[in-house]
Amino acid sequence: MQSSELEQIKDLEQRISVSKSNYNNIVTLLEYTKDKSPKVIHSALYALYRTFSPLLSKGELQKPKNENLERDKKGLIKIWLRDNYVQYVNTLCNFLRHEEPGLQIPSLNILLNLLKIESTYLTSASGSHQFSNNHYYHVVEGLIDNENFSEPLKTEFVEKYWNTYDDLRFYFLKNASLDEKSVDKLNSLMENTFSILENLRTMPTDASEIDEFWTGHPAPGTRLSYTLDFSELSNSQENDDCEDDSDNMLFDDLFNENFEKEQTKESQKEIPHKKTKKPVLLQLSAHKRVFSDCWLALMKLPMTQESYKRILLIMHKKIIPHMPQPTLLMDYLTESYNAGGVTSILALNGLFTLINEYNLDYPDFYKKLYTLFDRNLMHVKYRSRFFRLADLFLASTYLPAQLIAAFIKRMSRLSLTAPPHGIVMIIPMIYNLIRRHPSCTVLIHNSNEHVNKLGRNHSEIDNLEDPYNFDEPDPMKSNALESSLWEMKTLQDHYFPNVATLAKIFQAKFTKPSYNLEDFLDHTYLTLIESELNRKSKKNKMPALSCERPKYIFPAEESIELIYKSEKFDVNERELVFENMKKGWEVWQF
């Protein structure tokens, strides 16, 4: 460490010791926050915190109500202290955007401690619970509108505060949904907000779960009573906030988190039948409402394809269950489902939740599902998720046989070009569908004249056309029931023995119980190789320890040699046959 920096820190420590009694040092400490050394800045930030926190707890930093400030020296001092405090808070918010995480985290902790102190004072001064959202709004803004939003800062806020305290989570969701930025900042705004929202683990599902508060419980015991009668902040309440008038104007229009300042006993006597209601922080519906508003506002922002996929991945588990009106996501999910490709596959889960639990009516659902079965499906990493849902969608026995047959034929055709780990998913699913829908059994051995041609000569087979139309987008018009599962016969000669064994199930009687698809859906090339390597050899089957080394790679060479030595031909004939058959095979001789 340089000597100049040591002198700065030593001088800073001396000023800290007298800063509580000498307010002139506040200006000097604020100057130290502009230093280039992170250690000096760190010490100055905590020195200012120890200076302002006692004043804030006593209300000395609140805006004076006296309009004749020129005649009130105490009021002038309060204004001066308040201006410096506002500058200090703005400095802390700016350090949230600093590139050094060692300054981001202390700034966040100090800002939230100041929030607790100010909210506690406002609560004691007003007689009812108050949350200083003016102050917290700037903290939220510093987090989500942050080009240097580091992983340590996110972890500190999410793990220590946001996933622990219900009031911090509630007002974050509300403030984040109201933030409006210019177009050039929308990308970082969306990414930072989403990185916080996707780590939410403590969203309440019952009112009894709302029990942790950073700024104190909204209704401690029965000492205070509240009603559901909301009103705008009075002038006296506005003056109690820790920010200037422009900030008060900004938050007047926010979702009403404040109640009337006083609930007198006389009003309770005048309306004895009026029931007391919970504060808004204790209402589960209010938490769900701000959660919904925040997510809907986030989905309107431009986002990368990767973020789009991540939202669809968590839609059915982390978003829909906590929304008061999940049907608001109908347009978002249907547009995603119509997008095609991987996006449609990921949107399928959320769309199914709306269809199954919230009676969403989606026209041509099965027609769109049918088109999602394409050659690319067998190579994407989300195929297991898709096949689980597809099996669920096709489970109903009330679906027409033509529709089920179309899905069976489409999967069979895809199996011809699919990798082995994809085929081992398709065959059990086809078997289950046929067992579930016996009217499709005709596909196994179809007596149709088109299929009977397979037993004739090769010239007719070459001209044979499968009546099933793979390119037809409408499954009901694909002529699937007129075809057969000749693809399964082809797979019985597959190079991978497990696939060949599975395909032979269609030759046996349909007495085998349905397959458990979970045993097949998560297979990859790696799992197939590992299963082969870990396969135990059969008992009493000794491996060959030695064998005769062949002379040629191909048996045709040995046949040529046998013909050459045969006595059926004379010398000239053997020589001619040998020369004709040996052409092109010399390179394969050892």
pLDDT in tens, 261-291: 333 333 344 444 445 577 889 999 999 999 9
Q: Is residue 118 a contact partner of residue 168, using CB atoms and an 8 Å limit? A: no
Measured CA to CA, the distance from residue 431 to residue 436 in angstroms comes to: 9
The string of pLDDT tens digits covering residues 497-538 is 889 989 998 888 877 888 888 888 888 888 888 888 887 766
Helix axes 571-582, 555-565, angle to 10 degrees: 170
Sign of CA dihedral 450, 451, 454, 456: negative
Q: Which of residues 62 and 420 earns the better pLDDT score?
A: 420
Nearest to 29 by CA among 14, 15, 39: 15
Nearest to 214 by CA among 284, 283, 114, 286: 114
Cβ contacts of 180-185, under 8 Å, gap ≥ 24? 181/145, 185/145
Q: Enter the tokens of residue 396.
A: 């109903």
pLDDT of residue 254: 31
pLDDT at residue 250 is higher than 50:
no
Nearest to 290 by CA among 409, 178, 404: 178
Mean pLDDT of the chain: 78
Q: Is residue 156 a contact partner of residue 107, using CB atoms and an 8 Å limit? A: no
The string of pLDDT tens digits covering residues 338-348 is 888 888 889 98
**For residue 557, which amino acid is it?**
E
pLDDT band (50, 70, 90) for residue 69? low
Q: Enter the tokens of residue 370.
A: 């049918």
Q: Enter the tokens of residue 544.
A: 């060959």
Give the other-Cβ count within 10 Å of 326's Cβ: 21
Greatest mean pLDDT range, 19-23, 81-85, 378-382:
81-85
Measured CA to CA, the distance from residue 485 to residue 404 in angstroms comes to: 13
As a whole-number percent, the residues of the chain with pLDDT over 70 amount to 71
Strand partners, 439: none
Measured CA to CA, the distance from residue 390 to residue 384 in angstroms comes to: 10
What is the residue extent of each domain of the chain? 127-145+158-303, 406-535, 555-588
